[in-house]
Amino acid sequence: GAGVSQSPRYKVAKRGQDVALRCDPISGHVSLFWYQQALGQGPEFLTYFQNEAQLDKSGLPSDRFFAERPEGSVSTLKIQRTQQEDSAVYLCASSFSYSGTEAFFGQGTRLTVV
Amino acid sequence: GQNIDQPTEMTATEGAIVQINCTYQTSGFNGLFWYQQHAGEAPTFLSYNVLDGLEEKGRFSSFLSRSKGYSYLLLKELQMKDSASYLCAVRDASGGSYIPTFGRGTSLIVHP
């Protein structure tokens, strides 16, 4: 595709509900990043993939958060038993090279947990 | 990990020049990025510095001093549309994963 695509753009979940957020990176991009951005803050790193391999998941805040990229393209970020503090914008970014010189971001999914 | 510091908010006048500073501490520096983010939108790439010096790109320039752990983004001939958040991000390759870590962002308000 022309850019990084994320869906849904907006998601309202009841506390305790499971959610799945999708990221379609730019075709051919090997690096994929997930970030969480709270209002008025910079993006906080969650996890990183190189092709299908999840090389770093140190930023995932709890074991309720899980990410996968099984075929090295589309990635899904899953949050189980959502809590109010999970409310944020979840940004996906992809990069052509392994060193990720320039990362392109999607518009994000705004998650609101009520 | 990285410790990235940038001012929270700045204001400037249309047509003027503004400099947004970013200081950082990192063990395996492998590049510094500047991104622009308008409210409700995705961050968009502005510049990348890995060597010391000034990189100029149109109205925007970015400077890096690795020995001082310091960068700045210079915006010239400010326009109203430049009102946005400017994010400084530093990449640390010490763990081999080349992950950019972002600062909190500087909210720039351009007024007539």
Q: How far is CA A54 from CA A12, A33, A76, A101, B85, in A?
A: 27, 10, 12, 19, 30
SS3 content of chain A, % helix, strand, coil (to 5): 5, 50, 50
Task: Please give the Cα distance from B109 to B75 (Å, whole number).
Answer: 12
Q: For A105, which of B43, B48, B103 is closest by C-beta distance?
A: B43
Contact call for B95 and A56, based on CB within 8 A: yes
Nearest to B101 by CA among B53, B40, B32, B20: B32
Phi, psi of B50 (to 5 degrees): -125, -20
Closest partner residue to B42 (CB to CB) among A41, A48, A106 is A106
Q: Which residues of A touch B (CB under 8 A)?
A: 4, 31, 33, 35, 40-45, 48, 50, 55-56, 91, 98-108
- Give me the pLDDT at residue B36, please: 97
Query: What confidence category does residue B31 fall into, taking pLDDT thresholds of 50, 70 and 90?
Result: very high
- Asked whether the beta carbons of residue B48 and residue A99 sit closer than 8 angstroms, the reply is no
Q: Both tokens of residue B5?
A: 């510091």
pLDDT in tens, B33-82: 999 999 989 999 999 999 999 999 999 999 999 999 999 999 999 999 99
Contact (CB, 8 A) for B52 and B65: yes
Q: How far apart are the two ends of chain B, measured CA to CA in Å?
A: 40
Query: Angle at CA A22, nearest 5°, toward A65 and A47?
Result: 40
* Cβ contact B97–A48 (<8 Å): yes
Q: Which residue has the tokens 């763990």?
A: B95
Nearest CB to A43 within list B44, B45, B102: B102
Beta strand A104-105 with A88-95 is: antiparallel
- Give SS3 for A14: coil
Stretch among A92-101, B20-29, B30-39 having the lowest mean pLDDT:
A92-101
Judged by CB atoms closer than 8 Å, whether chains meet at A105 and B103 is answered as no
pLDDT band (50, 70, 90) for residue B104: very high
The residues, any chain, with a CB within 8 Å of residue A38's CB and separated by 6 or more, are: A44, A88, A89
Q: How close, in Å, is residue B29 to chain A by CA atoms?
A: 13
State residue A54's pLDDT score: 95
